[in-house]
Structure 1
Amino acid sequence: MDIHISNLTLTLFLPVVLLLFTWHYVSSRLHPGLPPGPTGLPVVGYLPFLGLKPYKTFTKLVKQYGPIYSVKMGSRIVVVLNGCTVIREAFVKKGRQFAGRPHWMLSKLNGGRGIANHQPTTHWREIRKFSSNILRTFGDRHSKMEAKVTQEVSYFMQDLHKTDSKPVDLRHNVQRMVSNVICSICFGERFEYDDQQFQKLIHYVEIFFQNIDSKSATNFLPFLWYLPMKANTAVEETYTFIMRFVEERIESHQATYNADEPRDFIDLFITANEEGQHPKKNGSIEEDVHKTSYNIDDLKYIVIDLFFGGTETVIAAIMWSLVYMLVFPDVQKKVQDELDKVVGREKNVTMSDRKELPYTQAVIKEILRMCNVIPMVIPHETVEDIDLCGYNLPKGTTIFGNLYSVHMDEDEWSEPHTFRPERFLDPNDNSTVTSEAFMPYSAGRRNCLGEHLAKMEIFLFFTSILQKFTIESAGTNPSLDGRHGITHMPHQFNLTATPR
């Protein structure tokens, strides 16, 4: 009987195994023009070998396969780009051909709407350009936006004074500060830090980011989406809550909208939509001379993109700035000395002071290079057949851009794993310099939409806290090796802040 069962099991099992290996072999060789890469396993491909921080694994593979290679990940073949030269060739020089987005997990939630996940259509280009112009207007130093950021920093500083130099974890304080800046831009209002709806919003955004990473395999093994997994439920529930939060504020804006007094991003988008829906008149003849493709239904998805893109990444950058100043107190002292000399301790730091603070700018750049807030860009997709570095990538190829490999490239940076702000200073006149291999906000058509605003927030926070406080580790120094996830965030740590 046992022999019979074993034979039956073997008879059923072997064909399945052979079928899986045949499928894996055939699917891995569908496009002979793709670059070679590591061999994975049937069905799951190379997913089991990526580890908790795939960007580091991808960087190690460069030594064996070069800066561009293919990796089988579940049901997808992914082409991974590493290093400054290859990534700029694809995303900048051939940006149009690489501007697509693969159909991935978030597309199931937003239908590919908004900006981050939208395909590069004419409609996408219009709403992205419009949104970028608004953020630049808000982020300009002559606008009210600097005042809003400075105001939120001042509330943060008040809370920091209340700690009375006792150990504190500032993560939630930073969350509230950054989230309120985005709320000011999008909704025209800031929230009190103890507001329950505001606290719930921040909590749901945090839960969303915690679970979105654990679902990354869903992008390559789509059947996982339909399984009753905790992460699936968490992502759907948090996205639904955030969507409703945004919808309620859009509805309120529509009810109180005044075209002559736009209050925020939502009002400006409503204005653009109204102008597109109601063409201007020329005498008695109505002519469609101001036709746009702005759609009020797109607004909620764009606002959510702004909130996701403008909170977690900036929070991570600010938290890393604290970490590096704790680990490198000598650098902290040099920044403070420069601030004392240029600004003093009484006057608030402004964006107009930035050009006179080259060492401070260099420190911020080196922190962003080292911490790699976004180690890998949101996946791209080729929109047509395209040649890259001697390989033929067919239309619809999923592309990974490994920014970590750019910032840790020994050909671009001397001792890349060493924290050295001076690398961003010109030795001749001590002015700030940059490099094409510095791309914390990515590059090309899909670069960070809120780069201008993010730079303002990071600069004003960093300079304001070091102008007024000296920070020290409460116990051992925090680790420079952060948590894995879409956003590279430091592990939890405490510090003490002593007024200067």
Structure 2
Amino acid sequence: MSSMSSATLLYCFCGALLVLMLVKCMLGQRRGVVSVPCLPYLPVVGSLLHLRSSLPPHLLFTQLAGRYGSLFGLYMGPHYTLVVSEVSLVREVLLQRGREFAGRPKMVTTDLLTQGGKDIAFADYSLLWKNHRRLVQSSFTLLVFNSSYQPNDPELLKVLDYNDGIVQTIVRGGLVDIFPWLKVTLTPGEPRDLLDALLIGKMKGSGGDDDITDDHVLMTAAEAFGAGVETTSTTLLWAIAFLLHHPQVQERVQAELDEVLGRDRPPALSDRSSLPFLESVICEVMRIRPVSPILIPHVAMQDTSLGGHSVPKGTRVLVNMWAIHHDPKHWEEADTFRPERFLDSSGKRVTPASFLPFGAGPRVCVGESLARLELFLFVSRLLQKFNFSVPSGRSLPDLQGRYGVVLQPHHYTVRVTPRY
């Protein structure tokens, strides 16, 4: 009995000590940001009990911002986290103090998915990450910013086949299967695509910790497929859904296309400036339904500040892009689909400061230029050649969306008919 009592006392003592250590850790994390409103929290679980809701996270955080303010804190377990829902604060996180908030949290799930952070999106900020990103960016620039494009231009075909090539590689037995023959056919200094650029970067390595490895190549290709294809295709689905709700917008885009391109000439990148309403429609789709309504978490890499509040190193920061894109202070009738908001009085396209669909700063989406190119070419060609309508007896698409890896529209049915 005595030994059992001693064991019980020992367990109780250890448990109490653990709780005290967690409380001290949580209070220490929040030291310097006590002026920021914070959700109630408990040891171990943090604020999770106060985050139970039927709402998806972006809507819940927007609702909480109305109660606690545009900058508030919470605990994800033991991790102190700031939620930012105002554009000036977001620009401070992403731009003015971009490098100070450029870190990424170390999480079990993303580590498993990325071979320990060997991708671009989830990897922590470091010299290796900067070199890795530079290689990827240069390959995208090679594809996107060529001097000119014709319908059968080889470089343009590379861009259009980029995502399909990754899909076909997976079908043939896995991305890693292509590495041996890619290495054989590489010509240093002449990258043909994203994988070439990465593999050449790997070949130039000195064997140190900051070198590109096979895992970096694999994770980047997989991320381009998982993130690039998914986000672009989802934006296209949202675009068609909103055009079904607003047929007059579809007609206006088609009138602009007919005037600039006619019936037969395919759209070219040089036409973008001549198709401002089409571009404004794409922007409005990305505003009203951002595919990433909450950006990947940032981490303060040093003691810094935000909105005049001290922020300790290691603090996590969530940017609520949904709240930014639906803020009535910056967007009139924010919940209404109005492409005209991206046009000035002379009909030229403008970009409001509160429009940040790809993020900004050091952590801006590396595929932004490629995504914009794809969306322009896909939407312009589809609307030039086809009409989109709701089939008889079917309902208009549900525009609420479902939150997963990205914010996707619910499945809907559309009737596609040739225009000519």
Q: Secondary structure at the match of 1:102?
A: coil
2:110 counterpart residue number: 106
**Cα distance in 2 between the residues matched to 1:150 and 1:308:** 22
Please tell me whether the aligned partners of residues 44 and 78 of structure 2 are also in contact (alpha carbons under 8 angstroms). Answer: yes
Matching residue of 1:253: 182
The one-character-per-residue Cα deviations of 1:312-359 (angstroms, maximum 9, x if unpaired) are 111111111111111111110110111111111111111111100111
* Structure 1 counterpart of 2:175, one-letter code: V
Instruction: Please tell me whether the aligned partners of residues 138 and 144 of structure 1 are also in contact (alpha carbons under 8 angstroms).
Output: no
- Residue of structure 1 equivalent to 2:6: none
Please give the TM-score of this superposition, normalised by the length of structure 2. 0.86
| CA deviation profile, 1:120-155 (whole Å, cap 9, x unmatched) | 1122112212211210221125367985797699xx
**Aligned pair 1:139/2:144, yes or no?**
yes
The superposition leaves residues 471-500 of structure 1 with CA deviations (integer Å, 9 ceiling, x where unpaired) of 012311001111111310111111011111
Letter in 1 for 2:176: E
Distance verdict in 2 for CA 1:260–1:22, change over 3 Å: closer
The gaps in structure 1 that reach 5 residues or longer are 1-10, 154-177, 192-196, 202-243, 279-290
- Cα gap change, 1:409/1:50 in structure 2, threshold over 3 Å: closer, same or farther? farther
SS in 1 for 2:100: coil
Which residue of structure 2 lines up, in the alignment, with residue 442 of structure 1?
Answer: 359
Matched, 1:124 2:129: yes
1:38 matched residue in structure 2: 39
SS at match of 1:70: strand
Of 53, 56, 61 in structure 2, the residue corresponding to residue 58 of structure 1 is 61
Selected match of 1:314 from 208, 232, 243: 232
Is it true that 1:388 corresponds to 2:369 in the alignment?
no
In the other structure, the counterpart of 2:200 is: 271
1:28-49: CA deviation from partner (whole Å, max 9, x where unpaired):
4332322221214553333342
Q: Give runs of aligned pairs for residues 228-243 of structure 1, distance below 5 A.
A: none
Contact residue 44 and residue 75 of structure 1 kept, 8 A: yes
Aligned residue number for residue 4 of structure 2: none
CA distance in 2, matches of 1:312, 1:490: 12
Distance 1:17 1:372, change over 3 A: farther
Which 5+ residue runs of structure 2 have no aligned equivalent?
A: 1-8
Maintained 8 Å contact 1:309/1:450: no
Give, in whole Å, the separation in 2 of the partners of 1:357 and 1:70: 43
Correspondence for 2:5:
none
SS in 2 for 1:71: strand
Q: Which residue of 2 aligns with 1:411?
A: 329
AA partner of residue 137 (structure 1): L
Structure 1 vs Structure 2 CA RMSD: 3.2
Where 2:409 maps in the other structure, the secondary structure is coil
CA displacement at 1:88 relative to structure 2: 0.4
Decide which of 327, 349, 357 is 2:245's aligned counterpart.
327
Change (3 A) 1:462 1:46: same
Q: 1:176-215 maps to which residues of 2 (within 5 A)?
A: 180-184=161-165, 191=168, 198=170
Is residue 253–residue 267 contact of structure 1 (8 Å, CA) maintained in 2? yes
Contact 1:386 1:392 in 2 (8 A): yes
* Deviation by residue 1:397-426 (Cα, 9 ceiling, x = unmatched): 111111111101111111111111111111
CA apart distance, 1:261: 5.7
Counterpart of 2:220? Answer: 302
Distance 1:58 1:296 in 2: 38
Alpha-carbon separation, structure 2, partners of 1:386 and 1:152:
43
- Which letter maps to 1:450? G
Deviations 1:195-242 (A, max 9, x none): xx75x59xxxxxxxxxxxxxxxxxxxxxxxxxxxxxxxxxxxxxxxxx
Are the counterparts in 2 of residues 377 and 402 from structure 1 also a CA contact under 8 Å? yes
CA distance in 2, matches of 1:149, 1:458: 17
Which whole-Å deviations, capped at 9, do the CAs of 1:55-95 have from their partners, x for residues lacking one? 11111122222211111122322111112100101110001
What letter matches 1:455 in structure 2?
A: R
